[in-house]
C-alpha cells in the first residue's frame, strides 16, 4: 500500500481509495495555523467546502490567501472565539446559509498551557478549559442539529497523548485534554444513533506557530540557534525518526477520519506522536 502525499489518496495496486469529500461541508476551528491550517488545505484539495474559525482575522486572511493559492478553491473565514456561544451560533448559521448542512467538524482550537500545580490560578484553568473543552462542546452543540438533518457527520476533537498519560508540570493542558478524550467517548455513544461519528486525534510534537514563538524567545539568549536545530533538539527523544512531526502528517490522519473511508470508526483516541507516548 502506497501513500501519495500530493493527492492524499491511499492506493493499493491501481485502485484508488476514494475519500468521498467532494462538496462536503467542513468547519475547522483553530484553522489559521499549524495542523488546523494543513487540515483545511488537504480537505479543500479533496473537494470539501471548508470554513475556518479562529480569533485573529489577520492570520485568517493570510491562511485563506495561502490555501486558495495552492488549491484554487474558496476558503471561508470567520473570526470566532470558541468560548463565545453566540459568536459560534451566528458563524455556523452563516456557513449553513451559504453551503448547506454541516458534514465535518474539526475541533482544533487551543494551545498548550503547562504549569506546576502550585502556580495554577483560576484564570489559567478557566482559560484553558474554556477554550479546549467548553469550546469543543459549544461547537458540537452548534453543528449536531445540522448533522442530524444531513443524516450523519464526522466530528474530530484534537487532543494530546498527555490526556492519557500526564507528565509533571502539565496542568492545565493534561487535565483539559483528558476531559476532551472522555467527552469524545461519551459523545460518540450518544450520537452514533444519528450516524454521527466522534473521534479524537491525540497529537504529539508537531511543527507549529506556537513552537516557533518559543524558538524566537530562545534567540534572545542563543542568537546562533537555528530553527532546524531547535526542532532537532525538541524531537530527539521521539522513537520514530528522532524528529518533530510535520503538520501535514497529522492533517492527513484527521482528513481520513473525517472521510467516508472511516465510516465504521467512532469513539477512538488515536495517537500520532512518533511513538513517544507510553500508552496506546
Q: How far, in Å, CA of 182 to CA of 184, rounded?
A: 5
Residue 63 domain-assigned (yes or no): yes
209-243 pLDDT, tens digit per residue, is: 889 999 999 999 999 999 999 999 999 999 999 99
**Do residue 194 and residue 240 come from a single domain?**
no
27-66 pLDDT, tens digit per residue, is: 999 999 999 999 999 999 999 999 999 999 999 999 999 9
**Do residue 114 and residue 62 come from a single domain?**
yes
**Domain span at 235:** 207-244
Tell me the CATH number at 46. Answer: 3.40.50.720
pLDDT at 18: 85
**Do residue 194 and residue 211 come from a single domain?**
no
Contacts with 196 (C-beta within 8 Å, 6 or more apart), sequence order? 144, 147, 148, 152, 153, 154, 155
**Do residue 79 and residue 214 come from a single domain?**
no
**Do residue 264 and residue 220 come from a single domain?**
no
62-102 pLDDT, tens digit per residue, is: 999 999 999 999 999 999 999 999 999 999 999 999 999 99
**Do residue 134 and residue 227 come from a single domain?**
no
**Do residue 255 and residue 195 come from a single domain?**
yes
**Do residue 90 and residue 201 come from a single domain?**
yes
**Do residue 101 and residue 240 come from a single domain?**
no
Residue 156 domain-assigned (yes or no): yes
Residue 279 domain-assigned (yes or no): no
Residue 231 domain-assigned (yes or no): yes
Angle at 245 between CA 241 and CA 248, to 5 degrees: 130
Residue 280 domain-assigned (yes or no): no
Overall domain count for the chain: 2
**Do residue 197 and residue 228 come from a single domain?**
no
Residue 164 domain-assigned (yes or no): yes
Residue 15 domain-assigned (yes or no): yes
pLDDT at 111: 84
**Do residue 110 and residue 167 come from a single domain?**
yes
Residue 278 domain-assigned (yes or no): no
92-147 pLDDT, tens digit per residue, is: 999 999 999 999 999 999 988 999 999 999 999 999 999 999 999 999 999 999 99
User: 13: pLDDT confidence band, cut at 50, 70 and 90?
Assistant: very low
Q: Could you tell me the pTM of the whole model?
A: 0.93
**Do residue 145 and residue 234 come from a single domain?**
no
Q: How far, in Å, CA of 87 to CA of 79, rounded?
A: 9
User: Which cell numbers in the block locate residue 84?
Assistant: 463565545
Amino acid at each position: 500500500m502506497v501513500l501519495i502525499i500530493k493527492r492524499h489518496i491511499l492506493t493499493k495496486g491501481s485502485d484508488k481509495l476514494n475519500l468521498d469529500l467532494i462538496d462536503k461541508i467542513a468547519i475547522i476551528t483553530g484553522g489559521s495555523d499549524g495542523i488546523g491550517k494543513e487540515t483545511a488545505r488537504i480537505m479543500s484539495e479533496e473537494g470539501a467546502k471548508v470554513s475556518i474559525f479562529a480569533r485573529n482575522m489577520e492570520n485568517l486572511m493570510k491562511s485563506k490567501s495561502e490555501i486558495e493559492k495552492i488549491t484554487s478553491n474558496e476558503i471561508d473565514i470567520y473570526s470566532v472565539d470558541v468560548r463565545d456561544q453566540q459568536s459560534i451560533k451566528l458563524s455556523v448559521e452563516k456557513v449553513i446559509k451559504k453551503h448547506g448542512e454541516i458534514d465535518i467538524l474539526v475541533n482544533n482550537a487551543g494551545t498548550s498551557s503547562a504549569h506546576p500545580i502550585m502556580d495554577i490560578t483560576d484564570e489559567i484553568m478557566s482559560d484553558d478549559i474554556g477554550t479546549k473543552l467548553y469550546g469543543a462542546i459549544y461547537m458540537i452543540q452548534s453543528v449536531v442539529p445540522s448533522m442530524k438533518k444531513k443524516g450523519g457527520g464526522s466530528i474530530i476533537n484534537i487532543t494530546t497523548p498527555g490526556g492519557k498519560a500526564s507528565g509533571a508540570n502539565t496542568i492545565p493542558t493534561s487535565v483539559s485534554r483528558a476531559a476532551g478524550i472522555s467527552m469524545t467517548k461519551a459523545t460518540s455513544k450518544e450520537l452514533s444513533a444519528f450516524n454521527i461519528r466522534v473521534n479524537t486525534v491525540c497529537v504529539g510534537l508537531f511543527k507549529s506557530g506556537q513552537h516557533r514563538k518559543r524558538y524566537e524567545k530562545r534567540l534572545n539568549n542563543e542568537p546562533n540557534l537555528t530553527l532546524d536545530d531547535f526542532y532537532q533538539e525538541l524531537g530527539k527523544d521521539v522513537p520514530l525518526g528522532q524528529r518533530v512531526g510535520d503538520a501535514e502528517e497529522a492533517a492527513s490522519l484527521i482528513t481520513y477520519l473525517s472521510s467516508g473511508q472511516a465510516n465504521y470508526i467512532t469513539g477512538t483516541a488515536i495517537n500520532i506522536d512518533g511513538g513517544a507516548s507510553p500508552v496506546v
